[in-house]
Structure 1
């Protein structure tokens, strides 16, 4: 019988679960304990030659068990305050909970529990083991967490390698078929900063959109300060969510702007809007832009600066996720609908007065004092049901 701190912690979590759990959830919990026992028994028959190997085996058992239990418990929909405290105490699982649980303000992620994929990949160089335990892919964006137990990934910007910041993230690349994809990240575990959330979009570094298939491999390459060898992962990515795709051939015209809302993708995690500005037959993009009144253009005067609201038939408006791009053709991501609407109205607008976000706010933020000038001539209504 295994008698470890990890198993005691897992049993503590199990004791906090309600009796009415489904057979599937119960079987997953049993699977967790079986992995611990089988791995522990197999290790007891093999002489551990190196201290590093012994530590890695223990860490792998913890990660595998935590990954299965974490996805199972979160998917069960039952996370009481007592359960949350218990989850936070388990290595790796506490970081998984930080990603998919209470610390994430992304409403799409809060609805993601049934769609999390357990990948449990790890790479070790020297005294650092980096792990990607879970990810989520809904066809429009990928969310993953990168953890290094006992190692701090954060450091001062542009700081040189030193004893103080050794092990902090230096570079991070996410590649699809060799193309670098746009991504953003944040640390989820405060001062320890050993867990990183990475959001990857289907936009390349040169602002081109990629159409992801339902299944593909993603390359993640991370270098740490003070370490010469990069941590390289090849992650199997699978779309696990349903998607409703709305398309339109309609082009709206106003003030020499030719606007097409080419696609709207609705998933339980994300609502993604695809916008295109069209030229007339034989017209060059530069000439089309030159013909548009200056009030529609960005600070440099060369790009259309329209932004967009998405509203359902009840007047419910979605909040954007991340920054609002400005280009001739681009994708804009919004939070998901709580229920699938009957109709969706895409409302272009110009920002007359925006204001500034409060200090320390990064990413999703909406200024209630923002003054918008809507352009009703360019509105598009899409029927969903």
Structure 2
């Protein structure tokens, strides 16, 4: 649809006075634009050039909000709906993320905007935002153009004859491979390679990627991402013959505070040692080790989890992590959490086992409480509280 056709259809639609419920996609984009308008009104008094730019942004955002309001009236033709999908999310993906660390990185100017991209058959994949604090690398990937009915992360599980398979929507990510200085990350030796994951974002056409670095490059069979490297991302989309390949430079953009502990507790055949805690404006990393007096069974593996709570009662929001078995009796945990809202004076680690819906089962669905949260069997005897330097962490958090 051309801009002329869009304007004509908007004009005709605006003359009709029939009220209809605003679709969720339109409501969300409308809210994003209004939020951006409110933010543009704040801040210090800009100079004349900045005032012009700011006025232009406000006018453009206000026009977009008016356009979306008309679209929300219910007169949305298929052509207009497709055009609507091409309106980008205002303010970037990080700004709308559920993770406080990503929003903080945006606010503190720790995010780089490489605009690195690749294009196939009129569809563009673009890396818009990147932040790397030395341990957690995060970046957003935006899909633009193309005739797609589903989001970039949409798929469904289809069961047939007792078997199941994953079916991806056209234009959805089927596979992602990362290269570090030209070397494929999946070829790195051992289980100590960095982990690459992705998840949906506030925009159906964008995803958030996380790459969790390893703690110590001196560990045998371990690969540690350097502070600066060339990242190459190879993305395979459903319906495309060739993968999209995007290359960009990455460098560490945030400092960290590392607290070494070594505190240990033993109970009921388990010995838990807290190795260290790492804080940055973007993330919190907990590293600990649990040794058992027996070999870990399949039922035990993956069912030992941890709740992390700051001294002010704030629970850590887990983003990811891994458990590695250096031997059959030991598990080394690296747990990735969002940053805390406020710098704590101490951090308490509370190990627990999830309660299964079937009390006699060791696998399957979990039992939920009245709030829809997993029921937890805490091992209070192993709880540990680690004191940290609140002033140093606060300085990190409030860096401007």
- Normalising by structure 1, what TM-score? 0.62
**Which of 121, 130, 138 is equivalent to 1:135?**
130
**Native 8 Å contact 2:135 2:214 kept in 1:** no
User: Structure 1 pair 26/345, CA: closer, same or farther in 2 (3 Å)?
Assistant: farther
**Which of 338, 355, 366 is equivalent to 1:353?**
355
SS in 1 for 2:144: coil
**Native 8 Å contact 1:117 1:136 kept in 2:** yes
User: Structure 1 pair 337/173, CA: closer, same or farther in 2 (3 Å)?
Assistant: same
- Matched with 2:103 is 110
**Which of 179, 182, 201 is equivalent to 1:188?**
201
SS in 2 for 1:118: coil
- Matched with 1:318 is 316
Higher mean alpha-carbon deviation, 16-25 vs 241-250, is at 16-25
Deviations 1:228-258 (A, max 9, x none): 3221122222222332111123443334433
- Matched with 1:62 is none
**Which of 152, 165, 171 is equivalent to 1:167?**
171
CA–CA distance in 2 between the matches of 1:357 and 1:188? 26
**Which of 255, 263, 266 is equivalent to 2:276?**
263
- Matched with 1:233 is 246
Alpha-carbon shift at residue 203 of structure 1 (Å): 5.8
CA–CA distance in 1 between the matches of 2:63 and 2:282? 24
Question: Are 1:274 and 2:287 matched, yes or no?
Answer: yes
CA–CA distance in 2 between the matches of 1:210 and 1:141? 14
**Native 8 Å contact 2:356 2:367 kept in 1:** no
1:4-15 matched pairs, under 5 angstroms: none
CA–CA distance in 1 between the matches of 2:385 and 2:44? 45
SS in 2 for 1:136: strand
SS in 2 for 1:112: helix
Alpha-carbon shift at residue 274 of structure 1 (Å): 0.9
- Matched with 2:24 is none
- Matched with 1:21 is 44
CA–CA distance in 2 between the matches of 1:141 and 1:95? 25
- Matched with 1:382 is 387
- Matched with 2:95 is 101
**Which of 208, 214, 238 is equivalent to 1:197?**
208
Alpha-carbon shift at residue 368 of structure 1 (Å): 4.0
CA–CA distance in 2 between the matches of 1:15 and 1:110? 17
CA–CA distance in 2 between the matches of 1:232 and 1:138? 24
User: Structure 1 pair 350/144, CA: closer, same or farther in 2 (3 Å)?
Assistant: same
**Native 8 Å contact 2:356 2:366 kept in 1:** no
Alpha-carbon shift at residue 194 of structure 1 (Å): 2.5
- Matched with 1:36 is none
CA–CA distance in 1 between the matches of 2:85 and 2:156? 28
- Matched with 1:145 is 140
CA–CA distance in 2 between the matches of 1:189 and 1:237? 24
Question: Are 1:343 and 2:354 matched, yes or no?
Answer: no
Alpha-carbon shift at residue 17 of structure 1 (Å): 2.5
- Matched with 1:371 is 376
Alpha-carbon shift at residue 220 of structure 1 (Å): 0.8
**Native 8 Å contact 1:116 1:135 kept in 2:** yes
CA–CA distance in 1 between the matches of 2:335 and 2:67? 34
CA–CA distance in 2 between the matches of 1:25 and 1:254? 67
Higher mean alpha-carbon deviation, 334-343 vs 148-157, is at 148-157
Alpha-carbon shift at residue 273 of structure 1 (Å): 0.5
SS in 2 for 1:228: coil
**Which of 234, 237, 241 is equivalent to 1:221?**
234
Alpha-carbon shift at residue 265 of structure 1 (Å): 0.9
Deviations 1:179-232 (A, max 9, x none): 234233233366xx432222222269xxx8654333222221012233332211
CA–CA distance in 1 between the matches of 2:38 and 2:236? 40
- Normalising by structure 2, what TM-score? 0.60
SS in 1 for 2:308: strand
Root-mean-square deviation (CA, aligned residues, Å) is 4.5
Q: How many residues align?
A: 302
CA–CA distance in 1 between the matches of 2:379 and 2:242? 52
